[in-house]
């Protein structure tokens, strides 16, 4: 157990290092620096600007320099917004994205699991069909289409929610639902198929034969095992909510890290692209690590002895 967690942490660190290196190299493979867009810049000034951001040094030098700063959690300055640093941006804007993300995770779990249970217990009946149709739609309708539809009906047509901005609970509702759409569908599908699997096991028959009421069998015996696959889905769930936030925050005009990231892509603000990508990657790797550890804790059948 301890051995497994140790191994898992080591491999996470290696993954993190690899991701940072690949991201760094990709960002430096971009043709034309951030200052080449501005053609009016006199060569002398451009040279000075490049020296300011160390762009005149070798890639290897820049890599070492970047890593050194990274160890101090210093992601460098923004190249477009003077006086702003990347870590300050993350510090200011990530809490909003995180708040949105947490609500979305809660919605998808609180709706997805009961939907999955209902559809598994009423297999073949109308409840099952309704849930499966909804789930298929949830997976196939792209999040930005779903989000614009929500926006159009509830903001433009009905005017129930504020059109833009951030601060109150009403601002969170629609974007969180839009973000939760496809994960909810996935969770209900996973819950359904795993519960259907578990329900046919011998120990469930034993529990029924003992004369336990259906509710106890389902909620005490079946569900415990059926929810294990849902735990493994938590990693992809967080990833999908994170990438989803890029478009959702743009549509609902939320000043979060996702929309900042999209803006930095438009501005070719390399230090921000690099820094935010590394931040997202680190965040996901840590989440995956936690999910993996939780998975071993909840499923004692797994003995990792690879």
Partner 1 sequence: MEAKLDKNCFEPLKAEKNGENEIVKPSETYWQDAWRRLKENKVAMVSLCVLIFLVVLCIVGPMVSKYDYYTNDLTKGYLKPSKEHYFGTDNLGRDLYVRVLTGTRISFSVGIVAAAINFIIGCLYGGIAGFYGGMTDNIMMRIVDIIYSIPTELYVILLMVALKDKSGNGLLNIYIALGISYWTGMARIVRGQILTLKQQEFILAAKSLGAKNSRLIIKHLIPNCMGPIIVTLTMSIPSAIFTESFLSFIGLGVNAPIASLGSLCSDSLQYYRQYPYTLFFPALMLCIMMLAFNLFGDGLRDALDPKMRK
Residues that bind partner 1 (CB under 8 A): 11, 14-15, 18-19, 23, 26-27, 29-31, 136-137, 139-142, 144-145, 148-149, 152, 156, 239-240, 242-243, 246-247, 250-251, 262, 265-266, 268, 273, 277, 280-281, 284-285, 288
Q: How far is CA 293 from CA 8, 13, 138, 232, 304, in A?
A: 9, 15, 29, 10, 11
Of residues 177 and 249, the one with the C-beta less far from partner 1 = 249
> Beta partners for 85?
77
Least separation in angstroms between CB 270 and partner 1: 8
Of residues 119 and 277, the one with the C-beta less far from partner 1 = 277
Least separation in angstroms between CB 66 and partner 1: 15
Closest by Cα among 300, 137, 298, 140 to 232:
298
Least separation in angstroms between CB 294 and partner 1: 16
Least separation in angstroms between CB 276 and partner 1: 10
Of residues 55 and 212, the one with the C-beta less far from partner 1 = 55
> In whole angstroms, what separates CA 63 from the centre of its chain?
27
Q: Is 238 helix (H, G, I), strand (E, B) or coil?
A: helix
Element at 241 (helix H, strand E): helix 228-251
Of residues 47 and 282, the one with the C-beta less far from partner 1 = 282
Of residues 47 and 148, the one with the C-beta less far from partner 1 = 148
> What are the b/e assignments for 122-138, b being 16+ CB within 10 Å?
eeeeeebeebbebbeeb
Q: Is 77 helix (H, G, I), strand (E, B) or coil?
A: strand
């Amino acid at each position: 157990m301890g051995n497994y967690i140790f191994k898992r942490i080591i491999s996470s660190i290696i993954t993190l290092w690899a991701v940072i290196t690949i991201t760094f190299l990709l960002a430096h493979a971009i043709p034309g620096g951030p200052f080449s867009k501005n053609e009016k810049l006199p060569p002398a000034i451009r040279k000075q600007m490049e020296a300011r951001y160390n762009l005149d040094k070798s890639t290897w030098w820049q890599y070492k320099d970047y890593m050194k700063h990274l160890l101090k959690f210093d992601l460098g300055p923004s190249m477009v917004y003077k006086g702003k640093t990347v870590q300050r941006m993350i510090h200011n804007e990530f809490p909003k994205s995180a708040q949105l993300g947490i609500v979305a995770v809660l919605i998808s779990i609180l709706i997805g699991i009961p939907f999955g249970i209902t559809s598994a217990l009423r297999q073949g009946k109308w409840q099952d069909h309704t849930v499966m149709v909804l789930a298929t739609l949830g997976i196939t309708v792209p999040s930005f289409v779903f989000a614009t539809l929500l926006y159009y009906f509830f903001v433009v047509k009905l005017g129930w929610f504020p059109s833009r901005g951030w601060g109150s609970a009403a601002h969170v509702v629609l974007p969180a639902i839009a973000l939760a759409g496809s994960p909810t569908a996935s969770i209900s599908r996973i819950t359904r198929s795993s519960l259907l699997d578990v329900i046919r096991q011998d120990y469930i028959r034993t529990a029924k034969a003992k004369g336990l009421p259906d509710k106890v069998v389902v909620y005490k015996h079946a569900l415990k095992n059926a929810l294990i696959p849902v735990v493994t889905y938590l990693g992809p769930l967080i990833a999908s909510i994170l990438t989803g936030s890029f478009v959702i925050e743009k549509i609902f005009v939320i000043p979060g890290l996702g929309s900042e990231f999209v803006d930095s892509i438009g501005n070719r603000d390399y230090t921000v692209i690099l820094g935010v990508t590394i931040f997202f990657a680190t965040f996901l790797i840590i989440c995956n690590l936690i999910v993996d550890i939780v998975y071993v804790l909840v499923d004692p059948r797994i003995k990792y002895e690879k």
